[in-house]
C-alpha cells in the first residue's frame, strides 16, 4: 500500500488558529468567537478590523485611536503614485494591488522587523494605503484625475469618494461595509495559507501579503465574484436564466459562485449579503440581476443540491454600486488584508517552517549518458 495522498490538503489540519472558525453548532463563520452576521448587524468595518487584528472588539476610545491611525496612514508616497501612473491602463487591478504592496515594502522603514508590534504597525499602513492605490488606478485608467483621501470619511466612505468623487447614500455605504466584514477573514483558505507559508520562512509581511494577493486573484478563490458577474452578463436577462443554467449543467460546466469546501449546507455569510444585495437593487431600481440570481440559485439547489457562496450575491452588489467587474476582487483584498495580517502575526508567534512532503511518481533511478550517446 502506498502512502495516502490528500490532494489540496483536503481534510488535513496543519496548525491552530484563534482568529476565525466556522462553528457547526451555530452554523456560522465566527471571528474571535463572534458570529460574522452579528458583527454585520451591530458593528462597522473598522470595529471588525480592530477585532481581527487585536483579538477583541474595541471600546469607544480604542476605536477612535484605531480610526485616527488608519486615516493618518492613507497618504501614498510620490514615488508610488508615479509608479501607478506608469502602469499599463489594461493591467488587472489585482496586479496593481500586488505591485503596490510590494513597493510599500521597499519604502517601509520597518520591513525587516518581524516583531508583533512592528507587524501591527506595518499591517495598518498596508491596510490604509492599498485602497488609496487601487482607487488612484481606478481613476487613472479612465483618464480621470486622482482623488486624494479624506481624513473625515470612514474607510468605506473614503473608498467611494476616491473612486467616484462622491459618497453614496448611507444604505449603499452600509451594504459595502457589510461586504467588507464578510470578506475580512476565513481561516486557512488558500491565500491565507499562502501568506502563512511565506511567513514560515521568516519572510516579511509585505512579501506575505503580496503572495496572498497573487493567490486571491485566481477564479477558484477571490476571482469568483468577478466570474459571477461575467456569468450574469452572459445570461443578460431573467427570461434567459432558466435555459442558460440548465444548458450549463447539461454540459457539466462549472457554475461560479456555488459550493464551498468548508460549508456543506450553505455559506453562512450568504443570507446577510443576499439581504443587502436586495437593498442595493431596490435603491438603484434595478431588479434584473436579483431575478437572475433567484432563478439560477433555485436550479442549482434543486438539481445539484449545491448552495451559493458569498461571492454569488457580492458580485452583482458591487456591480450595482458602480464598480467595474475587475475591481470586485481588489475590494476583497482591501478587506482581507486584516485577516492576512492577523494570520501572519499568529504564524510568527509559534512559527515552524511549512514544508510538506510529496509522493514521487517520476522515473526510477537512471544512469546519465554522455551527450554523444543520447
Name every residue whose Cβ is closer than 8 Å to that of residue 112 and which is 6 or more positions away in sequence. 204
Show contacts of 20-28: CB within 8 Å, 24+ apart. Answer: 20/52, 20/185, 20/186, 20/187, 20/339, 21/187, 22/187, 22/262, 22/263, 22/268, 27/265, 27/268, 28/268
| CA distances (Å), origin 144, targets 85, 139, 147 | 11, 5, 9
Catalytic residue among 311, 319, 343, 348: 311
Active site residue 221: yes
- Please give the full DSSP string across 98-114, using - where no structure is assigned: HHHHHHHHHH-TTTT--
Q: Which residue has the cell 551527450?
A: 371
- Please give the full DSSP string across 54-81, using - where no structure is assigned: HSS---HHHHHHHHHHHHHT-PPPHHHH
Pairing of strands 20-23, 34-35: unpaired
Catalytic residue among 15, 92, 95, 221: 221
Active site residue 230: no
Angstrom distance (rounded) from CA 190 to CA 182: 17
Angstrom distance (rounded) from CA 48 to CA 335: 10
Pairing of strands 20-23, 28-31: antiparallel
Catalytic residue among 260, 319, 343, 348: 260
Active site residue 311: yes
Name every residue whose Cβ is closer than 8 Å to that of residue 151 and which is 6 or more positions away in sequence. 71, 72, 74
Point out the residues that are catalytic: 221, 260, 311
Amino acid at each position: 500500500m502506498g502512502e495516502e495522498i490528500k490532494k489540496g490538503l483536503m481534510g488535513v489540519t496543519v496548525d491552530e488558529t484563534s482568529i476565525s472558525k466556522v462553528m457547526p453548532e451555530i452554523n456560522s463563520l465566527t471571528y474571535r468567537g463572534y458570529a460574522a452576521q452579528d458583527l454585520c448587524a451591530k458593528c462597522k468595518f473598522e470595529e471588525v478590523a480592530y477585532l481581527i487584528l487585536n483579538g477583541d472588539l474595541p471600546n469607544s476610545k480604542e476605536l477612535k485611536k484605531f480610526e485616527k491611525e488608519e486615516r493618518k496612514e492613507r497618504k501614498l508616497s510620490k514615488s508610488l503614485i508615479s509608479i501607478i501612473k506608469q502602469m499599463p491602463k489594461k493591467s488587472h487591478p489585482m496586479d496593481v494591488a500586488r505591485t503596490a504592496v510590494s513597493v510599500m515594502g521597499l519604502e517601509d522603514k520597518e520591513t525587516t522587523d518581524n516583531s508583533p508590534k512592528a507587524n501591527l504597525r506595518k499591517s495598518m499602513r498596508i491596510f490604509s494605503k492599498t485602497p488609496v492605490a487601487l482607487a488612484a488606478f481606478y481613476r487613472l485608467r479612465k483618464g480621470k484625475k486622482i482623488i486624494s483621501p479624506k481624513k473625515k470619511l470612514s474607510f468605506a466612505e473614503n473608498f467611494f469618494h476616491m473612486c467616484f468623487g462622491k459618497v453614496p447614500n448611507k444604505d449603499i455605504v452600509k451594504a459595502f461595509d457589510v461586504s467588507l466584514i464578510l470578506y475580512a477573514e476565513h481561516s486557512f483558505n488558500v491565500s491565507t495559507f499562502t501568506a502563512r507559508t511565506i511567513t514560515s520562512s521568516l519572510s516579511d509581511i509585505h512579501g506575505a501579503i503580496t503572495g496572498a494577493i497573487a493567490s486571491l486573484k485566481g477564479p477558484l478563490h477571490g476571482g469568483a465574484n468577478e466570474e459571477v458577474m461575467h456569468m450574469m452578463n452572459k445570461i443578460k436577462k431573467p427570461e434567459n436564466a432558466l435555459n442558460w443554467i440548465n444548458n450549463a449543467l447539461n454540459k457539466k460546466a462549472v457554475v461560479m459562485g456555488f459550493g464551498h469546501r468548508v460549508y456543506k449546507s450553505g455559506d453562512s455569510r450568504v443570507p446577510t449579503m443576499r439581504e443587502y444585495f436586495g437593498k442595493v437593487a431596490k435603491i438603484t431600481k434595478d431588479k434584473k440581476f436579483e431575478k437572475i440570481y433567484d432563478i439560477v440559485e433555485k436550479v442549482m439547489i434543486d438539481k445539484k443540491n449545491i448552495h451559493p457562496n458569498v461571492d454569488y450575491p457580492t458580485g452583482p452588489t458591487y456591480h450595482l454600486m458602480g464598480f467595474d467587474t475587475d475591481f470586485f476582487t481588489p475590494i476583497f483584498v482591501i478587506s482581507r488584508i486584516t485577516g492576512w495580517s492577523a494570520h501572519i502575526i499568529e504564524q510568527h508567534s509559534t512559527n515552524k517552517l511549512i514544508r510538506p512532503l510529496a509522493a514521487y511518481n517520476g522515473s526510477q533511478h537512471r544512469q546519465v549518458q554522455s551527450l554523444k550517446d543520447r
